[in-house]
Structure 1
Amino acid sequence: MRHLNDNQNEPVGPDPLASLDAEVRRHGARVATKCRVCGRWLVSPKSRAAHEGPTCRTKDGGAA
């Protein structure tokens, strides 16, 4: 996955957390972030990036 630079439309490289995810999974752990709406732990990369889980994203109207 490649992300776009905020100032340009050029890709800046791979997801910076991808290598961290791979490393912690090797040790049997997962990277998590708390949902900004309900406070539940999020482990899905998509949910971590949005800081909202799928349920809260739906309730919020997808305004992430």
Structure 2
Amino acid sequence: MSEMRAKENPGGGTGASPESIAADLFNHNARTEALEADERREVELIAELLDRGYRIAVRCHRCGHWLTNVRSIRVFTGPVCRRREAGDDRE
């Protein structure tokens, strides 16, 4: 039974609603700007996928690693590659 409960929130447990996570992927602030119809449909689709347990992932444009963090997805670059692009080669 505990195995089933662990899978109820496969997205990682931020507590945020799928709609807010999906809107955040578009860097959307609902108070200041409205989404176009196609963007609204994408947010709805992503929210539905998240609600069904899917995770959104893209590949880093620099190294090819899979990214699942909202900030990294938005810029298509992971934290290590962002630091390297900024000239800081620390890991």
TM-score by length of 1: 0.63
- Over 3 Å off, 4+ runs: 16-21
Partners of 2:34 and 2:51 in 1: CA distance: 26
Identity of aligned residues (%): 31
Aligned counterpart, 2:18: none
Shift in alpha-carbon separation, 1:45–1:18, aligned structure 2, 3 A: farther
Q: Does 1:2 align with 2:29?
A: yes
CA RMSD across the alignment: 2.7
Q: Does 1:11 align with 2:20?
A: no
The number of residues matched between the two structures is 55
Partners of 1:54 and 1:18 in 2: CA distance: 24
Decide whether the 8 Å contact of 1:36 with 1:51 is kept in 2.
Answer: yes
Q: Which has the higher contact order (CA 8 A, sep 6+)?
A: 2
TM-score by length of 2: 0.48
Q: Which runs of 5+ in 2 are unaligned?
A: 1-27
Aligned counterpart, 1:57: 82
Larger Rg over CA atoms: 2
CA shift for structure 1 position 18? 4.5
Partners of 1:52 and 1:35 in 2: CA distance: 5
Partners of 1:12 and 1:28 in 2: CA distance: 27
Aligned counterpart, 1:46: 71
